[in-house]
Structure 1
């Protein structure tokens, strides 16, 4: 009896919780269920918007598509047409629209392969075809506005690995078209304004050589094609013997819940080297940038 009482006391002193290796499930080789965990909220992702200046170029995504296009061209009357003109002739035919949807539409910036374009609305494939000029020129300009996606799979464009952009708008024009639509300041001759506007456009385009995905670049690209006041100011600067010497983009002190950029244009007098600055504010919080404040004198703080 004394020995049985001691064994009972020892069992009572042992903890009631058994180790995992002592549980029936563990003994049978079945793993214990994982303890309940708090649900992890999904990661918050912010859309990466694109407002880029470049050119649209068609590419064959595969050998099969290339051969299919060649067969269709072979059935058409293409005498006297270049390869590019023949391709455009085929793609503009409604009966061959399936080929336009199969093509890889590449967006290049200064000749560098930057994005693969995908229309959000399938009917916007017409905008891509319109960007295929029959006679390309160095003055050709394409503006793409959309949302940047992931890197394209290898089969999307013949193993070309660049980001995709789902675009909502695509503008195609020439530098001459842009300058023609700019309002000419009073007292300025058409020839004088054209020369100044073309010089400013080319100057700013050199500054704008970017992928158009950063807020700073989107603000500047927007102003180049949508804000005539910067060209009018350049005309006034030339009349004052000054010239555009630099462009700077920085976050505005007024930025709070929205992303607002200050775009600062510097002009230097050719005689005195006196520098004068003007700035304009652009909101780039969403896909379509817009003007917050008009061009005004900028004072360094």
Structure 2
């Protein structure tokens, strides 16, 4: 299948250095824990050694459980504090882009779960809250995001077509690079990339396009109180389809499903 050769979409990732606190973030990247001090790093190494875990088995260490004395039904995680004090970094296009902090204990568990799949890409939905040092021995700071929701990209369902084949076997994913996901257009672009196959399959379980040659993105200003972006997809047979993605609030969504595009006068 053809991939786009004329994509007018969000540019490759850049560091977000001048963004205001509270700004919404919707980004895609890999997540890796590290330790801000040598002392904490040594504590982690000792913990891993004590349970015969390899140094890169973060999940095994952070999730390790023991039973309380005389209370066989009560377990606790003695090394959970290491995950709580770790620095969680989201890397986009091989660039360290954000320090992540969990919004709730549930999101801390979600961060810990990512260490079971360190090579997978994750969709991170959150809010910018400031800046932090990814490591006390580093000489640069990264934007800090409070994580509201994490999704493993591999867990985003790919629709099965009417012929029984998954959509990704019939249509190539456009070659769009993830962005920092701070601007409205970048958040819309990341949502489009992560939910592409759900967008291009119609209610009859058929692909709406056979290929994607180009993508054009523009602001949809028909709703002035909303942040909506229109994605126009062109295929090799010169057909064009468009959909709208609304990024006004924390969670982006498709506000207008993909349909044949007719330019208004």
TM-score w.r.t. the length of structure 2 is 0.77
Structure 1 residues 171 and 279, CA gap change in structure 2 (3 angstroms): same
String of CA shifts for 1:269-299, please: whole Å, max 9, x gaps: 2xxxxx2221111221111112221111122
Deviation, 1:236, is 4.4
Matches within 5 A, 1:1-301: 47-78=22-53, 82-85=54-57, 87-93=58-64, 94-133=77-116, 136-137=118-119, 140-153=120-133, 158-174=138-154, 177-178=155-156, 181-186=157-162, 188-190=163-165, 193-197=167-171, 199-200=172-173, 203=174, 206-226=175-195, 228-232=197-201, 235-238=207-210, 243-269=211-237, 275-301=238-264
Match of 2:111, SS? helix
State the alpha-carbon separation in 2 of the partners of residues 265 and 231 from structure 1: 10
State the alpha-carbon separation in 2 of the partners of residues 99 and 254 from structure 1: 49
Deviation, 1:230, is 3.0
Deviation, 1:156, is 6.1
Structure 1 residues 113 and 46, CA gap change in structure 2 (3 angstroms): closer
Structure 1 residues 244 and 226, CA gap change in structure 2 (3 angstroms): closer
State the alpha-carbon separation in 2 of the partners of residues 60 and 219 from structure 1: 33
String of CA shifts for 1:168-209, please: whole Å, max 9, x gaps: 1111242xx44xx322221x3426x34235x22xx2xx3242
8 Å Cα contact 1:50/1:146 also seen in 2: yes
Structure 1 residues 51 and 141, CA gap change in structure 2 (3 angstroms): same
What stretches of structure 1 of length at least 5 have no aligned partner? 1-44, 270-274
Report the aligned-residue RMSD.
2.4
State the alpha-carbon separation in 1 of the partners of residues 258 and 111 from structure 2: 34
State the alpha-carbon separation in 1 of the partners of residues 208 and 134 from structure 2: 51
State the alpha-carbon separation in 1 of the partners of residues 90 and 134 from structure 2: 17
What stretches of structure 2 of length at least 5 have no aligned partner? 1-19, 65-76
Structure 1 residues 60 and 160, CA gap change in structure 2 (3 angstroms): farther
Q: How many residues align?
A: 230
TM-score w.r.t. the length of structure 1 is 0.69
State the alpha-carbon separation in 2 of the partners of residues 218 and 292 from structure 1: 14
Larger Rg: 1
State the alpha-carbon separation in 1 of the partners of residues 139 and 34 from structure 2: 12
Structure with higher RCO (Cα < 8 A, 6+ apart): 2
